[in-house]
């Protein structure tokens, strides 16, 4: 590189920064539409094992079973849209939320939820 090419690169970057042009760098991986941390509402302890996350939108349907304690349950990778989300687990009341909007930037912009399951009566 010559000193002039360094100036050209710096000038181009300065123009992008000052012109207000947003520069979006897209990841090479697909992100989940929804990722949920599952907890026991009474104790606050992890309730992932055996929990089932169900995602529904017009573009994607997915269900994920928790097999590793402490990990978020996630699904519908790379698929933006409006979701209905349900979580089932034996010994707990069903949890649900509708109308969760997942935007798209490059891929789905993950909506992170903390689901607090109420023990069944």
Determine the pLDDT at residue 117: 98
Domain 32-117 annotated CATH 2.40.50.140 = no
Determine the pLDDT at residue 20: 55
| 16-30, 53-67, 68-82, 106-120: segment of lowest average pLDDT | 16-30
Residue 54 has pLDDT above 50, yes or no: yes
Q: Are 43 and 116 in contact (CB under 8 A)?
A: no
From 111, 52, 51, select the one nearest 80 (Cα to Cα): 111
Strands 61-65 and 52-56: antiparallel
Reduced DSSP (H G I as helix, E B as strand, rest coil) percent helix, strand, coil of the chain, to 5: 15, 45, 45
């Amino acid at each position: 590189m010559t000193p002039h090419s360094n100036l050209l690169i710096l000038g181009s970057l300065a123009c992008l920064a000052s012109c207000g042009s947003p520069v979006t760098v897209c990841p090479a991986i697909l992100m989940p539409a929804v990722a949920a941390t599952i907890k026991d509402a009474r104790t606050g302890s992890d309730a992932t094992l055996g929990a089932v996350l169900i995602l529904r939108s017009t573009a994607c349907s997915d269900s994920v079973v928790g097999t590793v304690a402490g990990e978020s349950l996630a699904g519908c990778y790379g698929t933006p849209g409006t979701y209905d989300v349900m979580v089932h687990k034996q010994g707990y009341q069903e949890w649900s939320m509708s109308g969760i909007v997942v935007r798209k930037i490059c891929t789905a912009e993950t909506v992170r939820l903390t689901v607090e399951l109420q023990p069944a009566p």
